[in-house]
Amino acid sequence: MALTDNSLTVEEFETAYAANPALKDVALNIAKKLGYTPYTAAEFETALGTKIGEKTSELYTGLDNDIFSASGIAKEGTEKTYDYAKRVIGGLKSAPTTLQTKIAELERERQEAEEEYVRHIVHLAPMMDGTVSRFSYLSTSGRRADR
């Protein structure tokens, strides 16, 4: 071992540990003194899984809140975020936009106005025939219509 020059490779430590298992406690104490928290593999997996679960939950809760604030559509009970987003986006995709609704309303109003115009023309047409004939007669005979 090269302890005299303050260097120790992993292989050298493993060899020393095989010869003296008490070095494990020394290594753990050194790690703690340096501010590290030593874990066994099982402890590490548990801690990592817990932390990943917390962060995943935080992320999906944020997504749920954003979807609700943007759409106004609430999440249903135990609905998963993916299913919630799919339901909301599908609903918004099939729902008419404000502009589409306004266009349909204006087209409906235009159609009603055209139908009303045709009804008035049909009603006034018989009356207009006499007026048009009289106007034609007056204009060809040289008389003024106000006489």
pLDDT, tens only, 76-104: 989 999 999 999 988 877 777 778 888 99
pLDDT in tens, 31-83: 999 999 888 899 999 999 999 999 999 999 999 999 999 989 999 989 999 99
Q: For the chain, give the number of residues.
A: 147
Give Rg (Cα) of the chain.
Answer: 44
What average pLDDT does the chain have? Answer: 84
Domain boundaries, the chain: 96-147
Q: How far apart (Å, rounded) are the C-alpha atoms in residues 147 and 130?
A: 17
23-33 vs 10-19: helix crossing angle, rounded to 10: 130
Single-letter residue type at 80: K
Which string of DSSP letters, residue by residue, matches 105-136? HHHHHHHHHHHHHHHHHHHHHHHHHHHHHHHH
